[in-house]
Structure formats: structure tokens, C-alpha cells
């Protein structure tokens, strides 16, 4: 299946999710509520939203320190350009693109910088621990879907931490484990995943220095998570909806964590569905209230990411189309070391048939 076909199918899926999220709601009434939102709170929310991304760029800058020295401005524009691509393409393309940007601006090999992207995303997942602690405190109603979402993020977090620690301690054991995990896949998919694992595992040794500075990175992560919650609390204030900060902190943190899962382009329908699942079904808030907030917050943040993302591309003197082409050619793999895993052995019968 081509990349374009997958994007079209993802868009269709997003429209279906949006229709499901809006079922049974009075859209005229919600539209009137959106029109009456206080612009002062909205402007402040937008500023806090971008500040949270700025803090994340400082975190990535610290992670990069063992392999590259970048300025505060450079880390911010690379990060925002990557987030913009992730927003447009539902395949986490921005993660590869950030390494591409770093190569263009600083000459750092893609194979060396990709592990820093992995560590950065792993730090983001640490906030799942906050979510788990707050479930009993806030008496969250864990419906089947909400519980499944929390468990899925927790499983990804545990696996990622395990892979990181194991790779730092024993690369060969990590390689064997990864090869066994994916040995059942078709040859083409197996070879591609093997190449990616070769990039990550061969470069994860540099993460030992990152782990030693873990507390500072976790502090920046915590600051970004709190700023996210402040942004969303301001969105509720714009609608004059009473909601406590701990509830917003729990709900929006879980929304952010859910982005580790595949999403449609521009997160169409996905944000609205997750918002309803967490704030309405899980936290007992009014569906019209939460949907009005998200139906304004979603396009507002989309505009912010687009404007800042395009400005970031202009600041780096890199064309957006060039980034798409780089991703399409999978340029990151071109610099990869040989595949981490050996070619899977064909079934015995198939091998004998070829010999005959």
C-alpha cells in the first residue's frame, strides 16, 4: 500500500471518528458557544501552548549535547518543524525529519541523532506515571476504552524503558531479543525494522550520559506537562466552564500521551474522540461543554503549529517539499549501518525445494 493511499484512508477514518464524536449534539448551540469564547483567555492559552513546546526544545537540546551543540533557537525551530510534519502526516515522519534537519544544519549523521529522538519521546511517556497515580485520587471512571488507552500507553512505556536500559547494558542481547520479536514478519517488513533497530541499538550507547542527567530532563518534562495543563485550563476559562486544575492535568496529559498511537492527518476526529472518552466518559463532564472546547482548541492549535512550523522551515532555509522527499526516500536508512538482524532462514521445505 502506497504512502498516499494510507494517508487517504487515515483521513477517511478521521472523518468517521469526528462524526461519531459529534453524534447527537446540537451543533448550532455548540457553534454559538464557540463564538462567545473570551478572546483574552484564548490569546493567553496560545502563548502558554507555545511555551510548552519551547520547554520541550530545551529538553531535546540537553539530550543532543553529547553529539551536537545547538543554540536555543536552532533546537526550537527543528523541533517545531518536526511537530508540524507529524501533524500533517500520520506516520510520525517528523521524528526522522528532526534528524534530517540536524544533519543539514550541523552535519551530524542521521544514525547518530536518531537515538536522541527516541530518548526524547521516551521522556514524554514518563507522564503516564502521573496519570496512573491520579486515577484513584480523582475517582476516574475507567470504562473499557479508557482503561485500554491507559494500559496501551503504559505497555509502550515499559517496553521502551526496557529496550533503552538493555541496549545500554548489553547491545548483543538487545539485538537478539529484537530479532526474535520480529522474526515472524514478512521478509521486506523484517528487513526494514531490522535496519531501524540497527540505527537505534548501535547509537543507544550514547544514552548512558543522558540517563546520568535524567533528573534535569525529567524536571523539564514535568514543566512542559504542567504548562500543557495550564493551556487547557485557560481554554476552559475562555468558555467559563468550571473545572479544577488536577482534572485538567489528568485529562490533557492522557490526551498528549495518546499521540504515541497512530492518528489521522492533523488529528482530525481523533482529538474530539479522545476528548469525549477522557473528559466526558471518564471524568463525567458535559459532552457539549468538552466538545465546544475541543472544537475550538483543535483548529486553534493547528493554526499555531502550522504558522510556527512554516516559519521554522523558513528559518532553516529548508523547503517543506524537500523534507517530504527525504522521508519518502527514507534517507535516514541510507546512512544506516548494516541491518541489526540476520536474514530469517526460510522454512526447511522451501530451502530443500530450491536446492532441488
Average pLDDT over residues 192-202: 64
Q: How confident is the model at residue 223, as a pLDDT? A: 96
Domain membership flag for residue 122 = yes
Distance CA 149, CA 133 (A): 15
Domain membership flag for residue 21 = no
Domain membership flag for residue 199 = yes
Domain membership flag for residue 55 = yes
pLDDT surpasses 80 at 52: yes
**Helices 171-182 & 144-169 angle (0-180, nearest 10):** 140
Domain membership flag for residue 198 = yes
pLDDT surpasses 80 at 184: no
**Exposed, middle or buried by CB within 10 Å (0-12, 13-18, 19+), for 26?**
exposed
Domain membership flag for residue 135 = yes
**Helices 72-88 & 320-328 angle (0-180, nearest 10):** 70
Q: What is the residue whose three cell numbers read 484564548? A: 42
Give the model confidence (pLDDT) of 119-165 as tens digits: 888 889 899 999 999 988 888 888 788 888 999 999 988 888 887 77
Average pLDDT over residues 87-115: 79
Give the model confidence (pLDDT) of 267-295 as tens digits: 899 999 999 999 998 988 999 999 999 99
Distance CA 327, CA 177 (A): 28
pLDDT surpasses 60 at 6: yes
Domain count, the chain: 1
Cα 342-348-351 angle, rounded to 5 deg:
75
Domain membership flag for residue 353 = no
Its domain, for residue 302, covers: 7-15+26-342
Amino acid at each position: 500500500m502506497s504512502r498516499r493511499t494510507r494517508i487517504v484512508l487515515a483521513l477517511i477514518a478521521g472523518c468517521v471518528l469526528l462524526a461519531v464524536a459529534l453524534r447527537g449534539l446540537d451543533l448550532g448551540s455548540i457553534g454559538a458557544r464557540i463564538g462567545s469564547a473570551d478572546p483574552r483567555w484564548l490569546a493567553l492559552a496560545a502563548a502558554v501552548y507555545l511555551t510548552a513546546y519551547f520547554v520541550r526544545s530545551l529538553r531535546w537540546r540537553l539530550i543532543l549535547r553529547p553529539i551536537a551543540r545547538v543554540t536555543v533557537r536552532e533546537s526550537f525551530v527543528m523541533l517545531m518543524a518536526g511537530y508540524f510534519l507529524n501533524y500533517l502526516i500520520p506516520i510520525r515522519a517528523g521524528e526522522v525529519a528532526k534528524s534530517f534537519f540536524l544533519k543539514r544544519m550541523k552535519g551530524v549523521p542521521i544514525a547518530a541523532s536518531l537515538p536522541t529522538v527516541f530518548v526524547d519521546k521516551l521522556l514524554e511517556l514518563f507522564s503516564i506515571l502521573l496519570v496512573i497515580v491520579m486515577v484513584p485520587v480523582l475517582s476516574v471512571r475507567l470504562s473499557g476504552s479508557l482503561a485500554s488507552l491507559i494500559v496501551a500507553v503504559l505497555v509502550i512505556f515499559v517496553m521502551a524503558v526496557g529496550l533503552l536500559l538493555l541496549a545500554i547494558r548489553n547491545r548483543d542481547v538487545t539485538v537478539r531479543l529484537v530479532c526474535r520479536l520480529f522474526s515472524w514478519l514478512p521478509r521486506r517488513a523484517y528487513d526494514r525494522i531490522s535496519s531501524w533497530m540497527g540505527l537505534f541499538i548501535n547509537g543507544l550507547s550514547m544514552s548512558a550520559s543522558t540517563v546520568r542527567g535524567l533528573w534535569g530532563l525529567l524536571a523539564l518534562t514535568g514543566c512542559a506537562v504542567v504548562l500543557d495543563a495550564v493551556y487547557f485550563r485557560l481554554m476552559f476559562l475562555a468558555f467559563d466552564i468550571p473545572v479544577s486544575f488536577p482534572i485538567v492535568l489528568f485529562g490533557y496529559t492522557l490526551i498528549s500521551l495518546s499521540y504515541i498511537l497512530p492518528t489521522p492527518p492533523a488529528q482530525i476526529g481523533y482529538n474530539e474522540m479522545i476528548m469525549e472518552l477522557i473528559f466526558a466518559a471518564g471524568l463525567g463532564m458535559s459532552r457539549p461543554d468538552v466538545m465546544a472546547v475541543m472544537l475550538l482548541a483543535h483548529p486553534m492549535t493547528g493554526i499555531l503549529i502550522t504558522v510556527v512550523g512554516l516559519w521554522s522551515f523558513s528559518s532553516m532555509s529548508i523547503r517543506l517539499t524537500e523534507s517530504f522527499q527525504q522521508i519518502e526516500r527514507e534517507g535516514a536508512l541510507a546512512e544506516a549501518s548494516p541491518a541489526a538482524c540476520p536474514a530469517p532462514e526460510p522454512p526447511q521445505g522451501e530451502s530443500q525445494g530450491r536446492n532441488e
